[in-house]
Structure 1
Amino acid sequence: MTQSVVVQVGQCGNQVGCRFWDLALREHAHVNKKGLYDEALSSFFRNVDSRKCDGEAHFVGGRIQHLKARAVLVDMEEGVVNEILHGPLREMFDSTQLLTDVSGSGNNWAVGHMTYGSAYREQIVDKLRKAAEHCDCLQCFFLIHSMGGGKAQPSLTNSSHGIIDD
């Protein structure tokens, strides 16, 4: 059995990641009617006992206790991450999985890469290492992010070209 770690970066990455976790839970609940922690769930979730301070993981085949996403959430503007932490998925994440700041890069990839990347590199690597250590057999990292941002989608019209770029 292999596990994957999802890395959500920036506003777009965290918004899409939130939808991913919601869909993963709903689809698994539809298939797994008995509430067992199976191999499919273990790919993206840890099953922990929240009554114990060390968050001891339970093995495949047992009942679902408390699911924690195998994820690291990074955003230099804390708005979207705060929405996730106050939404229906709030119990799936804890502070060890989050890295936020308050100012943001203003949809400027270069600022995020050069300024925040160098300032937070060690903390990001540390959080990724800890997430990987919770895996028995790490298969991969999924990176969810956006390289663009800031511009609205083009409008569709009946013009000769079909699309007008706003």
Structure 2
Amino acid sequence: MAQNIVVQVGQCGSQIGCRFWDLALREHASLMSSTNSKKCIYDSSLSAFFRNVDESKNTSLPYPSPLRTLKARAVLVDMEEGVLRSILSSPLRDLFDGEQFIRDVSGAGNNWAVGNRFYGEKYRQMLSDEIRRQAEQCDSLQSFMLIHSMVS
């Protein structure tokens, strides 16, 4: 089955993204409980948005395999670290590793030009590298899902 990479940008993108990840985990948990399965299996439906990682060997496991540690196929971008810090203190913190966060401390102050010209130039390579790293961990990359806010 094909995999998808979620790119969450800005405060709104990160907040909506957290709701997405929470819902995806709840949906899969309800499917597992409805089948009365005692064994949790990493299958093709989970592989669409998650990687199954054996942390002792630091390797991704193929599907089907026993469920170990789920990591989201995501890149989170925000130039003010408040929302990203709240994600790291939430129940979803184990879904992400430190490399998936691209952040700064000051923020663009909702000014598109500052975000585009200053932070865009500063973090373009880091963003490109992280998206490439996520894509290389896919067997069959299907799409990118961009979650962000546009103000008119």
Q: Structure 2 length normalisation: TM-score? A: 0.93
Structure 2 CA distance, aligned partners of 1:90 and 1:4? 20
More relative contact order in 1 or in 2 (CA 8 Å, sep 6+)? 2
Q: For 2:26 and 2:132, how far apart are their aligned partners in 1? A: 28
Q: Does 1:36 align with 2:41?
A: yes
User: What residue is the counterpart of 1:155 in the other structure?
Assistant: none
Question: What does 1:34-73 align with in structure 2 at a 5 Å threshold?
Answer: 34=37, 35-52=40-57, 55-73=58-76
Asked if the contact 1:109/1:148 (under 8 Å) is kept, the reply is: no
Write the distance in 2 (CA, Å) between the matches of 1:110 and 1:19.
28
Partner Cα distance (1:113, 1:75) in 2: 12
SS at match of 1:40: helix
The aligned amino acid for 1:17 is: G
Contiguous gaps of at least 5 residues in structure 2: none
Separation of aligned partners in 2, 1:41 and 1:65: 12
Q: Once the 2 structures are TM-superposed, how far is the Cα of residue 32 of structure 1 from its aligned partner?
A: 2.3
Measured in 2, the distance between the counterparts of 1:32 and 1:127 equals 31
- In 2, the alpha carbon distance for the partners of 1:110 and 1:11 equals 17
1:13-67 alpha-carbon deviations (Å, 9 max, x no partner) = 0000000000000001101233110111000000000112xx2111212111000
CA distance in 1, matches of 2:64, 2:144: 24
The one-letter code matched in structure 2 to 1:41 is L
The structure that is strand-richer by fraction is 2
Determine the structure 2 residue equivalent to 1:27.
Answer: 27
Q: CA deviation at 1:108?
A: 1.4
**Residue 96 (structure 1) aligns with:** 99
In structure 2, C-alpha distance between the alignment counterparts of 1:66 and 1:145, rounded to whole Å: 27
The ranges of structure 1 where at least 4 consecutive aligned residues each deviate by more than 2 angstroms after the TM superposition are: none
Question: Alpha carbon RMSD of aligned pairs, Å?
Answer: 1.1
CA drift at 1:94: 0.6
Task: Give the counterpart letter for 1:116 in structure 2.
Answer: Y
Q: Distance in 2 between matches of 1:138 and 1:104?
A: 31
Structure showing greater Rg: 1
Kindly indicate whether residue 115 of structure 2 is the aligned counterpart of residue 112 of structure 1.
yes
The answer to which of 140-149 and 93-102 deviates more is 140-149
What letter is aligned with 2:19? Answer: R
Contact kept, 8 Å, 1:107 with 1:148, in 2: the verdict is no
Identity rate, percent: 59
- Indicate the structure with greater helix content: 2
Give the drift of 1:124: 0.4
